[in-house]
Copies of this chain bind each other. A is one copy, B any other.
Amino acid sequence: MTESDIVQTIIRRFSSGDIRLTPQRISVYRYLLENRTHPTVDRVFNALKIENPSLSKTTIYNTVDTLTKAGLVRVVRTNEDEVRLDGYTDNHGHFYCTNCEEVYDFSLEGCAVPDSLHGFQMEEFDVRATGLCGSCKQKN
């Protein structure tokens, strides 16, 4: 994503009017678009605190909550019971490497929603995998 793509995305996604546009919200969302590394709340906080020293962690929590409810952000949980953030909400799976603790996106092609869910009203469908990523596999 280029800088201009990011700005376009921010404008587009905030334009629903459902949520008020504040500097903190923009900076959290922008950070997630620019850093597709599935960072923790703490990581985002520490990164943004540099530019805005008065930023509070509470605000990050509030903001993540707001953005999640507005559908701009997804919360991903690794097996280590860690919250990771994702600014990309298209449908994809998450692979957690137990060695490097990196979270990788993967395509869900071939993994359809099972028929056994037909009686349920589904709102979210989450696929997660755990193991070793390509480079950690070789090192071990």
Contacts and interface: CB of A to CB of B under 8 A. Distances in A.
B119 A130 contact: no
A2 interface: no
Given A108-B114, A114-B111, A128 B131 contact: no
Interface string A33-57: 0000000000000000000000000
B112 A110 contact: yes
Interface residues of A, number: 38
Interface core residue of A83, A110, A111, A128 (most chain B CB under 10 Å): A111
Contact of A137 (B79, B115, B121, B131): B121
A127 B126 contact: yes
A111 B99 CA distance: 26
Contact of A131 (B97, B104, B116, B124): B124
A100 B119 CA distance: 15
Contacts of A109: 114-116
A132 B137 contact: no
A30 interface: no
